[in-house]
Homo-oligomer: A and B are copies of this chain.
Amino acid sequence: MQEDRRLAVLRAIVEDYVATEEPVGSKALVERHGLNVSPATIRNDMAALEEAGYLAQPHTSAGRVPTDKGYRLFVDRLTTVRPMSTAERRAITTFLDGAVDLDDVVHRSVRLLAQLTRQVAVVQYPVLSRSTVRHIEVVAMTSTRLLVVLILSTGRVEQRVVELAEAISDDGLSRLRTRLNLAAVGETIADAAAALTDLLTDEERPDAATVAAVPTLVEAMSDHRSDERIVVGGTANLARFGGSFDSAIRPLLEALEEQVVLLKLLGEATTGDTVTVRIGAEGPVEELASTSVVASGYGPGDGLASLGVVGPTRMDYPTTIATVRAVARYVSRILDES
C-alpha cells in the first residue's frame, strides 16, 4: 500500500531530478505528478526513503536527490522498457546500413549512439572468432626488415614488422611466403598457430627468417587484444554534464583516453549480450563516482565485444537503455550477415 506509493515517489523524484537537475521538493512533486495525496504525506515517504538510503539531501531543507542506491532500485525495478519509436528504429537501420566495412560499422555506431543518447559513446571492436587464415603476405621493407600481413577470412587484417638477424634474398622471401601459406591457409586460427609453430621444429634446419617470422605471426593471430581497440565519440556532450570540471569532467576525459581503463569500465558493465548498467561508485574507477555506464555485449553470435555510453549518474536511464539495446542488436545483426 504505502510501499507502492513510496516506490512511485522514488520514481517521480528520479524522473524530475533527471529532467530539472535540481533537488525536488514535496510540493512540486505532487503538482507535477498525479499523486492524490498531500505534500505532507510525501514528506513522510521521502523521510522513509532517505532513511533507507535511496535519497539524500544536499543540505537541510533542500529537496531530495536520488542516491546511487536510489538509481539502482529505479533501473532494476521501476523502469518499464520504453519501446523505440519507428522513426528511431528507422534512423538506426538506415544509418547503419550504409556502412561498407568493419571500421565503418564501428565508427557509425559510435556516432549514432552519441547522437541518440546525447552522451559519450564507446564502442569496442568486435572480436571475430571462428575465422580462418586466408592468406599470409610477406613484404620486404629493407633486406633485414619484413612486413608480415595476415589476412583472415572475416576480413580482419593484422600487420607486424619483423626484424631479421641476417639479410634475406628475394628467393628466400618467396620460399618463406609459400611455406607459411602452405602451413596456415585454410586453418582456423588455433590450428594455424599450431601448424606454424610446428614449422620451427619439423624442419631439419629452419632458416633465420622463419624463426623470426613465425612467433610474430602466432602472436598476431592470438592478438585479439589488438581487436580490443576502442572508439570514442560524442565527447562534446560532456558540455551538458553538470558538476565541476575538475571533479567530474577531467577524470572522465582522462579515462576516455586510457584504453585500458575504458576496457575495464566496459567489461565490468557487460555480461552476455544484455544491457547492463553500472551506477556511480559501483564501478572500479573511483574518480568516476559520479558517472554511470550503460553497456551491452554485442557481436556475431554471442556477446563478444561491448558497446555503450558513459554519462552522469543523473541520466535518462529508460531511453538510454532502450537505445543501447537497439543499437547493439542491430549492429550484431549486421555483423552476422556480412
**Which A residues fall within an 8 A CB radius of B?**
100-101, 134-135, 137, 139, 141, 145, 147, 149, 151, 153-155, 157, 159-161, 233-236, 238-239, 245-246, 249-250, 253-254, 256-257, 338
Contacts and interface: CB of A to CB of B under 8 A. Distances in A.
A101 to B, nearest CB: 5
Contacts of A155: 139, 141, 147, 149, 159, 161
Contacts of A145: 338
Contacts of A250: 236, 239
A153 B139 CA distance: 7
A14 to B, nearest CB: 26
Contact of A254 (B100, B236, B253): B236
Given A250-B236, A253-B235, A257-B234, A139 B159 contact: no
A145 B137 CA distance: 22
Contacts of A338: 141, 145, 161
Contacts of A257: 233-236
Nearest to A111: B257
Interface of A is mostly: mixed
A134 B137 contact: yes
A142 to B, nearest CB: 8
Residue among A151, A238, A256, A338 having the largest count of chain B Cβ atoms under 10 Å: A151
A159 B246 CA distance: 42
Contacts of A160: 100-101
Contacts of A235: 235, 253, 256-257
Contact of A159 (B135, B157, B233, B253): B157
A100 B161 contact: yes
A257 B256 CA distance: 14
B137 A137 contact: yes
13 contacts: A101-B160, A134-B137, A135-B149, A139-B151, A139-B155, A141-B155, A155-B161, A157-B159, A161-B338, A235-B235, A236-B257, A238-B253, A239-B250
Contact of A249 (B239, B246, B256): B239
Nearest to A99: B161
Contacts of A238: 253
Contacts of A159: 101, 155, 157
B256 A246 contact: no
Contact of A137 (B135, B161, B234): B135
A149 B147 contact: no
A140 to B, nearest CB: 9
Contacts of A236: 250, 253-254, 257
Contact of A245 (B147, B161, B245, B256): B245
Given A134-B139, A139-B155, A245-B245, A161 B234 contact: no
Contacts of A256: 235
Contacts of A233: 257
Nearest to A337: B142
A137 B161 CA distance: 19
A68 to B, nearest CB: 25
Given A234-B257, A235-B253, A235-B256, 13 more contacts: A101-B160, A101-B161, A134-B137, A134-B139, A135-B139, A137-B137, A149-B155, A155-B159, A155-B161, A157-B159, A236-B250, A236-B254, A236-B257
